[in-house]
Structure 1
Amino acid sequence: MKQAVIGLAAIGLAGCATYGADAAPDQAAAPPAPEAMICNADSAQAHIGHNATEAGGAVILKESGARTLRWGPPRSAWTMDYRQDRVNVQYDDQMKIIAITCG
């Protein structure tokens, strides 16, 4: 019984062993991620008061330098995660843009 427990423990520990520093990796290193686009909401503030449209959103996205655009309808809940490559556009019940922020 004691030998069986020791044998199982040895097998379990062997599975946790790491390879030495000279071992070759199985896969090539992943290429570096492309540099993230950083949002600058200041350059898109002129759109506040305009209608919230798909075309307007595309212009805001381009002017802000962000990678993604998130629309914020009235009375909607948003996640609080901050993303430096995202521009947020909030609008009111009349579909007028009321705020443009990054995150």
Structure 2
Amino acid sequence: CDATAIQDYRGEEYRAALEQILANQSGAQRVRVIRPGESYTMDYRPERLNIHLDEQGTISELSCG
């Protein structure tokens, strides 16, 4: 996964259709969407793209792991 290639998507409103686009552009094999207040595992998976959303459903962070 290479999240540097997709940083221009930060600040965009999240849509489910973006998952596949972001996965393809980053080379991720898996995608995880993380919403505010949700619990999630801290296990590191280099092939996974993490899409962090803010309270308004906007993409605030894109990272691999």
Q: Which runs of 5+ in 1 are unaligned?
A: 1-38
Residue 51 of structure 2 is matched in structure 1 by 89
Letter in 1 for 2:39: A
Q: Which structure carries more strand by proportion?
A: 2
TM-score by structure 1 length? 0.61
Letter in 1 for 2:30: T
Aligned-residue CA RMSD in angstroms?
Answer: 0.7
Q: Is 1:60 aligned to 2:22, yes or no?
A: yes
Q: Per-residue displacement from partner, 1:33-88 (whole Å, max 9, x unpaired)?
A: xxxxxx00100111000011111121111111000000001111211110011000
Q: Is 1:40 aligned to 2:8, yes or no?
A: no
Q: Which runs of 5+ in 2 are unaligned?
A: none
Aligned length: 65
Higher radius of gyration, 1 or 2: 1
Percent identity, aligned pairs only, is 34
SS at match of 2:33: strand
Asked which structure has the greater RCO (Cα within 8 Å, sep 6+), the reply is 2
Letter in 1 for 2:38: S
Residue 49 of structure 1 is matched in structure 2 by 11
